A = this chain, B = another copy of it.
Amino acid sequence: MKLKVKFLELEAGGKSVVVLNKEDAEDLGVSSLGRVRVKFNERELTAIVNTTTKLISEGVIGVYEEIKNALNLKEGVHIDVEITPFPTSLYFIRNKLRGRKLTYDEILEIVRDVVEGNLSDIEIASFVTALHSFGLDLDEATNLSIAMVKTGNTLKLDRPLIVDKHSIGGVPGDKTTLLVVPIIAACGLTIPKSSSRAITSAAGTADVVEPLMPVGLDIEEMREVVEKTNGCIVWGGSLYLAPADDIFVRVEHPLSIDPLLLPSIMSKKKAVGANLLVIDIPCGRGTKVKTIGEADLLAKDFIELGRRLGINVQCAVTYGEQPVGYAIGPSLEAREALSVLMGNKHVLDLIDKATDIAGILLEMSGKKDGKELALGALKSGKAERKMREIIAAQGGAPGIKLEDIAVGDQQFMACSNRAGYILWIDNTSIAEIARLAGSPKDKGAGILLHKKIGDRVDKDEPLFTIYAERSNKLQRALDGLEKIEIMGVGDRMEMLIHEVKERPLIKKTFMLER
């Protein structure tokens, strides 16, 4: 069938989508969400069909930007449209929906079609939901990891040993990477670190690094930085490592499910060529993993998956019931990390966590007394010098001072209405209030804690300060504070957690950061 092209001037999120009049679709024998093959001047591709009864008339085909560009179309030209069967990968998804285990070939075909935009949102959502409901075993997780590596970029470094670290996320203020990378690189190991931006949190590592240096490097630029300095901290989004994952994340977020946690993380590590890897599993109330038993089970899977992918993995189960350090939000966190590197501030938990993780990596590489080595690199200023080298290599200002990192000038300091002890700090509430204040988009927005769990506080003593770049966002955060509690102050004998007076609406927290 020949149809006349009409541009819709819309993107379909990377998918190839066309809109047909219902009559034409029926004549072709294709229903909504079926597939057609479209051809123009030697070029052709498979597109997903949407149908309409009025906005596209008979004889016309509405095309999204993706198809316009791929086929190099002009408005008004006629293109060939023929029915084509559902892609084979859809049959494999249907197998999973029947509870069958998927083989490598099947998984590769699904992942390839996801990356190439050949599967609809409905099909991808159903695949992810089926993985969540039926579970995926370690064979499937391994094959998914390999398929995700195979359908994206890989980093090629001519080094025998490449180390990496990763946190599964869930703790606000976790700027550990900003210390671990320069410590490790300063100790002579190679650590090509890619990080993500925030999805549900107040700031991802890529957001936190951005006030210090550019993070949107492509894979070739990343390679140059690492070859020069032994390390880097760049944003994963512009590297196209395991790009299928970015598409899965888009689906997982509204559903609050994360069946791809293991392959997602491990594929990105495999894609940068890591041999030695520490996975940080923050544990406790208000994090992803609530109990140590659960953390150990997850660690077991990471270690075994690593073995199958040729990566030597160790896990660090860490305390996650409150933020790491005092600062939450991109610029506040960047300042805190830099001041620790510069030896200006002694943020004990941050330093302890960073040197623990760096220490494990150093020992895995064969060095002795890893933790002491790491502490030495930090205290001697070697880590700071390395960080400034990396900043320079990534295109930032190596001489950057703390004052150069601007924080929001709209501020509100919250004080305690009673004397007592800090009994708890709610990670989720912190992320929510920081986001209301503008974080991570407004780099200077966030929260600075003045007290942490166990600290003694007097009446009217400051608990935390909210920072925002714009007054309306500060107001939004303050409105949020009316409903959301960040910290609990009380005596150590208080037993009641909360009352349940009617059937509660369970808005379980979900963190997709990984």
Contacts of A50 in B (CB 8 A): 13
Using a CB-CB cutoff of 8 Å, which residues 249-265 of chain A contact chain B? 250-251, 253-257
Min CB–CB distance A250 → chain B (angstroms): 6
Task: Give how many copies assemble into the complex.
Answer: 2
Whether the Cβ atoms of A506 and B32 lie closer than 8 Å is no
- A226–B125 alpha-carbon span in the complex (Å): 43
Contacts of A132 in B (CB 8 A): 97
Whether the Cβ atoms of A97 and B10 lie closer than 8 Å is no
Whether the Cβ atoms of A31 and B199 lie closer than 8 Å is yes
Is A40 part of the contact surface with B, judged by Cβ < 8 Å?
Answer: no
- A129–B133 alpha-carbon span in the complex (Å): 9
Is A123 part of the contact surface with B, judged by Cβ < 8 Å?
Answer: yes
Whether the Cβ atoms of A506 and B91 lie closer than 8 Å is yes
Min CB–CB distance A203 → chain B (angstroms): 13
| A257 nearest in chain B by CB position | B97
- A13–B250 alpha-carbon span in the complex (Å): 21
Is A58 part of the contact surface with B, judged by Cβ < 8 Å?
Answer: no
Whether the Cβ atoms of A125 and B133 lie closer than 8 Å is no
Is A33 part of the contact surface with B, judged by Cβ < 8 Å?
Answer: yes
Is A436 part of the contact surface with B, judged by Cβ < 8 Å?
Answer: yes
| A54 nearest in chain B by CB position | B11
Min CB–CB distance A330 → chain B (angstroms): 13
Given contact pairs A122-B122, A125-B126, A255-B122, A508 touches B94 in the complex (Cβ within 8 A): yes
Whether the Cβ atoms of A254 and B507 lie closer than 8 Å is no
Contact of A55 among B55, B65, B250, B436 (CB under 8 A): B65
Using a CB-CB cutoff of 8 Å, which residues 1-52 of chain A contact chain B? 8-11, 13, 19, 26-27, 29, 31-34, 50, 52
Given contact pairs A133-B129, A133-B133, A253 touches B31 in the complex (Cβ within 8 A): yes
Is A121 part of the contact surface with B, judged by Cβ < 8 Å?
Answer: yes
Is A300 part of the contact surface with B, judged by Cβ < 8 Å?
Answer: no
Is A88 part of the contact surface with B, judged by Cβ < 8 Å?
Answer: yes
- A11–B435 alpha-carbon span in the complex (Å): 33
| A35 nearest in chain B by CB position | B254
Is A505 part of the contact surface with B, judged by Cβ < 8 Å?
Answer: yes
Min CB–CB distance A430 → chain B (angstroms): 15
Contacts of A54 in B (CB 8 A): 11
Given contact pairs A10-B10, A62-B10, A120 touches B254 in the complex (Cβ within 8 A): yes
Min CB–CB distance A38 → chain B (angstroms): 18
Contact of A254 among B9, B88, B122 (CB under 8 A): B122
Whether the Cβ atoms of A29 and B91 lie closer than 8 Å is no
Given contact pairs A250-B32, A256-B94, A11 touches B55 in the complex (Cβ within 8 A): yes
Whether the Cβ atoms of A254 and B133 lie closer than 8 Å is no
Is A84 part of the contact surface with B, judged by Cβ < 8 Å?
Answer: no
Is A441 part of the contact surface with B, judged by Cβ < 8 Å?
Answer: yes
Whether the Cβ atoms of B91 and A505 lie closer than 8 Å is yes
Min CB–CB distance A509 → chain B (angstroms): 11
Min CB–CB distance A204 → chain B (angstroms): 13
Contacts of A93 in B (CB 8 A): 255
Given contact pairs A65-B55, A122-B254, A125-B122, A8 touches B11 in the complex (Cβ within 8 A): no
| Residue of A86, A97, A128, A255 with most partner-chain B CB within 10 A | A255
Contacts of A121 in B (CB 8 A): 120-122, 125
Whether the Cβ atoms of A10 and B11 lie closer than 8 Å is no
Contacts of A19 in B (CB 8 A): 10
Whether the Cβ atoms of B130 and A10 lie closer than 8 Å is no
Min CB–CB distance A513 → chain B (angstroms): 13
The 9 nearest A-B residue pairs measured at CB? A133-B133, A129-B129, A125-B125, A122-B125, A26-B441, A126-B129, A33-B254, A94-B256, A121-B121
Seen from chain A, the residues whose Cβ lies within 8 Å of a Cβ on chain B are: 8-11, 13, 19, 26-27, 29, 31-34, 50, 52, 54-55, 62, 65, 86, 88, 90-91, 93-95, 97, 99, 120-126, 128-130, 132-134, 199, 250-251, 253-257, 435-436, 441, 505-508
Task: List 5 contacting pairs A-B, 8 Å CB cutoff, sorted by A.
Answer: A13-B32, A121-B122, A125-B129, A126-B126, A129-B129
Taking A32-B250, A55-B65 as given, write out 9 further A-B residue pairs in contact, using a Cβ cutoff of 8 Å, ordered by the A residue number. A8-B9, A9-B55, A29-B435, A29-B436, A31-B199, A33-B253, A94-B255, A97-B255, A122-B255
